[in-house]
Amino acid sequence: MSSATSSPVTVETINPKVLKCEYAVRGEIVTHAQRLQQELQEKPGSHPFDEILYCNIGNPQSLGQQPITFFREVLALCDHPSILDREETQGLFSLDAIARARQILNQIPSRATGAYSHSQGIKGLRDSIAAGIATRDGFPANADDIFLTDGASPVVHMMMQLLLRSEEDGILCPIPQYPLYSASIALHGGTLVPYYLDEATGWGLEVSEVKKQLEAARSKGIIVRALVVINPGNPTGQVLAEDNQREIVEFCKKEGLVLLADEVYQENIYIDNKKFNSFKKISRSMGYGEKDIALVSFQSVSKGYHGECGKRGGYMEVTGFSADVREQIYKVASVNLCSNISGQILASLVMNPPKVGDKSFKSFSAEKNGILSSLGRRAKTLEDAFNSLEGVTCNKAEGAMYLFPWLHLPQKAIKAAEAAKKAPDAFYAHRLLDATGVVVVPGSGFGQVPGTWHVRCTILPQEDKIPAIVSRLTAFHEAFMDEFRD
């Protein structure tokens, strides 16, 4: 008989897949940072810095980015429709926001944002998103291919549920990768098949490397089901060239792989000689139709210039799947009833923002361009700062919200990390946090070529905070290298 005082749930008795799952972006470093922040609040002056500077997660509004006015106006009006007909509303809200809110409310059964919707998402909003995709790509899109979700993360979990039957099923993922993928694959009991991005060529995606890893996995009896591509890259910040994307599409077609296209940073492009092209646009321009290639494209309201992480909105566009498989995807979506309505509305606004001639277009464009221009400047300043440090090399952030500098650490530092039972990059990140209050994520949480060490640093702190980050980082790094110089 078991003891009445023993817990029915212990670490030894929970699902081992949960134990295997890790998510570095909110891991040990961040927990420690939050503890330091509380200590600063309770006892100012208790640390050699006066604030924690979070550079660990792509959470723009938590770091001071302001929401887009038009989007918030429409959301407010949809959530409180009784004010639409009040005279004073026209003085507080732009006329096109009022018109858009009316249009959206007319698409919602019972005009209630607090009610469940269709499990795939409100039809009128999916129509709007499909129209936005068609405008972006120059090829038709179908609302029936759109599944509205609570951000892009549920899409990843949904596709892993669909594709992974056992550990014998594998998913090709870039290394470095966003740890949602490794976590989701672990939770759903599959095998992550890594392919390494080429740091020497600016985190290039070489199809020959993907092919090598595919063949190696197959030789071990792993059935590789899909290829994940993150474009623009997280944590690596590269933007794929069109020719490279064509190679990837051709590879997936030839090898019978589902192409999982993570495109949540499609608005975050900071260099003039690169532009975002969706994988759907690329595949259609190659002559591949709806039935020729299985493609799932993700978009989110959390990134871009809008940064509405807390609203949890996003979608996946599913093409190239048979009708009976799509029924199963719909069934899984139905288990969750529906995604939240505010996120659905935001997803439709992101894909159909104000246009030339609309009342809000000028102010919307100023807000959007101001945010993206500032992000570009922050990326360049931080990139230059990392490259100025002894033993650090940092590729350009062409897009997304991150830098992933390579730390060429002295052997003495690596041995000190081993003695502390930490990975060398985690050792560095902990020391940086304790000395400066700057929070970065160790590269080991994203995967990296064995024997190399990195950190991921966001470009999201507001511009007036960037000089403090640079000065604290520079002083710390110089002292660190002096301490551990071989």
Domain edges within the chain: 16-64+366-483, 107-351
Class of domain 107-351: alpha beta
Mean pLDDT in order along the chain per 10 residues (486 residues)? 62 68 66 86 84 84 87 92 81 88 88 73 93 95 92 87 90 92 88 94 93 96 95 94 95 95 95 93 93 92 89 92 85 79 92 92 94 94 95 94 94 92 92 92 90 93 92 94 86
Which pLDDT belongs to residue 31? Answer: 86
Which pLDDT belongs to residue 272? Answer: 87
Which pLDDT belongs to residue 83? Answer: 82
Tokens of 190: 């599959």
Cβ–Cβ < 8 Å for 264, 298: yes
This prediction has a pTM of 0.90
Which pLDDT belongs to residue 10? Answer: 67
Q: Which architecture, in CATH terms, is 16-64+366-483? A: Alpha-Beta Complex (3.90)
Which pLDDT belongs to residue 315? Answer: 94
Cβ–Cβ < 8 Å for 291, 323: no
Q: HEC states along the chain?
A: CCCCCCCCCCCCCCCHHHHHCCCHHHCHHHHHHHHHHHHHHHCCCCCCCCCCEECCCCCHHHHCCCCCHHHHHHHHHHHCHHHCCCCCHHHHCCHHHHHHHHHHHHHCHHHCCCCCCCCCCCHHHHHHHHHHHHHHHCCCCCHHHEEEECCCHHHHHHHHHHHCCCCCEEEEEEECCCHHHHHHHHHCCCEEEEEECEHHHCCECCHHHHHHHHHHHHHCCCEEEEEEEECCCCCCCCCCCHHHHHHHHHHHHHHCCEEEEECCCCCCECCCCCCCCCHHHHHHHCCCCCCCCCEEEEEECCCCCCCCHHHCCEEEEEECCCHHHHHHHHHHHHHCCCCCHHHHHHHHHHHCCCCCCCCCHHHHHHHHHHHHHHHHHHHHHHHHHHHCCCCEECCCCCECCEECCEECCCHHHHHHHHHCCCCHHHHHHHHHHHHHCEECEEHHHCCCCCCCCEEEEECCCCHHHHHHHHHHHHHHHHHHHHHCCC
Which pLDDT belongs to residue 20? Answer: 65
Which pLDDT belongs to residue 1? Answer: 44
Which pLDDT belongs to residue 235? Answer: 92
